[in-house]
Amino acid sequence: MILNAFFAALGQISDPKFRSVLLRGVGLTIILLIAGCAAAIWLINWLASSEISLPWIGTVSWLNDVLNYSGIFVVLVLPVFLMMPVASAIISMFLEEVAQAVEDKHYPTLPAVPGIPFSDGVRDALSFMGVLIVANLLALILYVIFSPLAPFIFWAMNGFLLGREYFTLAAMRRIGREEARKLRAKHTSTIWLAGTLMAIPLSVPLVNLVIPIIGAATFTHIYHKLSGPTP
């Protein structure tokens, strides 16, 4: 069922509505990544421009060198680390359009829905992005302790979070937030597995800019399969 949903979503990637969401999502992701890197570099330069003094030691000049070199780290590593959570959250903001395109093609007999207000979509996207970033920062500790298992920890954790969010957003369009939570709880293992399969390619830079839109479409199909026939 999960694979059928995935291939159905993949077969619709040429849909003009998909391309529109993809272009806007990638554009916003790149803008946010550039803004985040610029803010981090500005902060580092501001800290490095002033003398740093420590109690009982006095002025420490080598810390400025460390801060300057950390700017290189920020430019090279920060976009790679943030690309996945930012892209996933941005696409979730446009999931309404993706889900509607899927339903127009594969479920044309469904009744119309009022849709999720844009302000609610932005709020959910920002909340989701915050959860993803914090969770991945905390997971760095586990990556160090269990380094051989780091990829599996990454996939399982992000798979759980992505499946939970994307399924809820796809379902709440039709049945509301509370009923979506109940349906998600009933099929937790299936949703987690689907989210994990989505998280694996998300760990590949640049590819993770495209996968969220396929994931949004996939979870729309999964919702309709799990919810049973719709009157």
Domain assignment of residue 91, yes or no: yes
Domain assignment of residue 49, yes or no: no
Supply the pLDDT for residue 25: 81
Supply the pLDDT for residue 63: 58
Domain assignment of residue 23, yes or no: no
Domain assignment of residue 74, yes or no: no
Cβ contacts of 81 within 8 Å, gap of 6 or more: 136
Instruction: Give the residue carrying structure tokens 């839109």.
Output: 213
Burial 130-169 (b: 16+ CB within 10 A, else e): eebbeebeebeeeeeeeeeeeeeebbbbbbbbbbbbbbbb
Domain assignment of residue 202, yes or no: yes
Give the domain range for residue 162.
Answer: 2-15+81-227
Domain assignment of residue 56, yes or no: no
Q: Count up the domains in the chain and report the number.
A: 1
- Would you give the DSSP letter of residue 127? H
Domain assignment of residue 195, yes or no: yes
CA distance 24 to 183: 30
Q: CA dist 166 to 66, 120, 146, 159, Å?
A: 40, 14, 28, 10
If residue 58 lies in a helix (H) or strand (E), which one and from where to where?
strand 58-59
State the amino acid at position 208 in one-letter form: N
| pTM for the structure as a whole | 0.78
Domain assignment of residue 194, yes or no: yes
Each residue's pLDDT, cut to its tens digit, for the chain (231 residues) gives 889 999 998 888 888 888 888 888 888 888 887 887 787 777 777 766 665 565 665 565 555 666 666 666 666 666 666 777 787 778 777 888 888 889 988 998 888 887 677 677 778 778 888 888 888 888 888 888 888 888 898 899 989 998 998 899 888 888 888 898 999 999 999 999 999 998 888 778 777 778 888 888 999 999 999 986 554
